[in-house]
Each structure stands twice: as C-alpha cells, then as structure tokens.
Amino acid sequence: MTANSSVTDRPLIRLNPNQDRRLRSGHPWAYSNELRMLPDYRSMEPGLPVRLESAEGWRYGTFMFNPHSLIAARLLDRDPSAVIDAGWMAGRIASAAALRARVCDTAFHRLVHAEADRLPGLVVDRYGEVAVVQANTAGMDRLLPEITRALVDALGLSAVVARNDSGARAQEGLPEQVALLHGSDASAVVEEGGVRFPVDPLEGQKTGWFFDQRPNRDMVAKLASGARVLDVFCHVGAFGLRCAGAGAAHVTLVDSSAPALALAEEGARRNGFPERVATRRGDAFDVMAALKEAGERFDIVICDPPAFAKTRKDRDAGLRAYGRMARLAAPLVAPGGFLFAASCSHHAPIADFAAVIAEGIQRARREGRILATTGAGPDHPVHPLLPESAYLKGQLIQLL
C-alpha cells in the first residue's frame, strides 16, 4: 500500500470509547492512548492514510497514521474518502500560496506552516525561486515527491531543498537527511526591507533563515536611524543589518558561530555598509558582561537567542537563562534606549517569559516600559486548537 492508495483498501482506525472529546471540538490530532490499537496496526507502515472513527461510528475523516508515535493520527482531510495524491497536494499548496499572496509583499516567506495550512508536520520556506522543505512527519515524508512537484508547478521554482534534519523527525522514527530534490543550484538571497541577505539552504540553521521575526525586524529597524546597535545571538545578522540598512550609525554583531558571522560580514559588504558593521565572536553572556565592564552603551540592544527551553524538562532552566540574558543586556542600553528580547521556546509561555525579563531588568536596577509584545508574522498562521505552535514571543522595552 502506498500513500496514494485507494479509499477502498484504506484501513479503518477506531478510537477507544469516550476518547473523542478533543476530536469533536475540531482538534487535528489523536494520541496513541486514545486509539484502539489492534495488533495489526503495529505492523502498518508509518504515514499511511487511514479512516478514523469514534467507537460509536462518528467519522472524523482521513488521517495519516504512525503506530510508533505518541501523536498517532494527524488530520489530512475531513472527507474520509479523500484521495491523497498529487492533485490533493497541489490544492493544499495552492491554498497556502494564495494566503501568502494576500499577507506578504515579497516572495520571501514561510509558505507552509504545518497544521495551520492543513499539511501536518510540513514546513516550507520560500526564497524567491528556491523552496526549502522540512517533512517532520512520516506522512509528509512519504509525500515528498508530490510536495516537490506541487511546489515547482505552482511557483516555477528553480530548486527545492529537503532540510529533513530536525529533531522532530526522530519522534516519528525518520532518519535525518539534507538533499536537493529539484534543480542544481540552491543558493539563495533574501530581500527584506531593502537589505539583501545571502543564505545557505543546504548548510545554514534550520531552513537557512528565520522568517518568523520579520515583523519584529521591521519594528526595530524603524527605531535605528542614527543609533548604536548591539545584536546579540545575531546568527547571520538579520536584525543588525536591517538596522544598518535603516541608517544606524554603528552595529555590533555577536555570535558564537564563525560561519554565521562570515555570512553577516558578507551581507554587510553586499549592501554597501561594511564600515558601519563590526562582528565579535564569543559566548553571548560573556560578551555582554565584558561590554558592561568596558562601560559600553547602545541605543538599541537586541537579544534573539536560540531556544533555551527545548523540552518541558528544560523549562525552569530556560526561564532562568532568559532572566540572566535580560539582566546582562539591560545595563548596556543607554537611558531612553530600547531592548528587544525574544524567545522561540514554546515551553516558555509569554507570561513566564515576560516575568523573567522584567525581573532581569529590575535586578539590573533599570526601569522600563513595554512598547510591544509580539509574535510571528501572518505567514506563520496558528491552528486555533494548537496554541502551542505559536512558539515565538518578543518584547520591545524602552529603558529609562
């Protein structure tokens, strides 16, 4: 049986009695302990489409099934007879592209955001004529040929890259893989706010760029004219170079990755302002402490770290790290200047994140006022019943 098997031989999976409350409310997942896991199910190939029904026969539609995953069934289509083939995938990709055409003003954006685009576990980032795909579920992994074809046909892409190296794949029993699925040249450039950024879809972090922070970069860049800017955990310098492009007097980029800083330096040269951009390699906490000791002050300090709380058990330690980050960053902000602090950890809820940022500022003996509490842009839609997928949060704070 393949991912495109006909509905006549599609297996029927039933829920245990009284285990359909969440599905009745519209939730797109069923957990393994909610299903009547018959012995034959254990031998099914992960990712195959199945029909899912309640113990009483209520039909919930077509799901992709993985007997080895805690999230055992993920919704594909409310129609239990839906044919999951190239035509079906083309329709889903077209729907996602139509939304981005309405809410994005360039061809550089998150094109598919998993369940919110009715493609569970699939992430697609678009870099003009290049798309980067992450298939984080067994069902989407099986459908990669159809996904690639739909993307190329819909958007006329020159290259499609698979960045199937995320930790989420291990939970589905999938191997890591980075490959060029279509085309011969995956090099790409992101254009944002008049600034061009070279990215490396095959070797960069995740899909090579972080589109989720675009509205926050827009917001910070508007404050940057004539400012001295410190961009900590800068990666390829997205925040800092946007500030330089908006007229910042000087930008200091800090990261522990030499390749990331090299891309940032290339970006500064490519955009014609290398003399206003300096890089400093090192541990972000150590560098901030050293800058404080040296009496440095900046008009804007940006702290956009990697996830400090990657799992639930990391939550408390992660929150302490965010608090320490704020405590070290606050003294570096000149009076009347701005601190932008962000977290991409969905295990650090916004209320808890805001509390430790406020505590860190207070411990630095600074006062401030919150100007904005933010998230990702509209190209990162959120399924209404999966609020945990709204992972990004940030705060823009003026320090007095």
C-alpha dist (Å) from residue 83 to 2, 58, 79: 12, 20, 9
Burial class from Cβ neighbours inside 10 Å (0-12, 13-18, 19+) for residue 214 reads buried
The alpha-carbon radius of gyration of the chain (Å, integer) is 23
Whose CA is closest to 164, among 153, 147, 151, 178? 178
Q: Is the CB of residue 71 less than 8 Å from the CB of residue 31?
A: yes
Q: How far apart are CA 396 and CA 243, in angstroms?
A: 15
Question: Which of 104, 234, 243, 344 is the catalytic position?
Answer: 344
- Residue 303 is among the residues annotated as catalytic for this protein: no
**Structure-block tokens of residue 92:** 């889903």
Q: How far apart are CA 16 and CA 53, in angstroms?
A: 10
Q: How far apart are CA 353 and CA 333, in angstroms?
A: 20
Dihedral pair phi/psi, residue 86, rounded to 5°: -60, -40
Q: Which residues contact 397 (CB under 8 A, 6 or more apart)?
A: 338, 339, 340, 341, 357, 361, 368, 369, 370, 371
- Which residues belong to the active site? 344
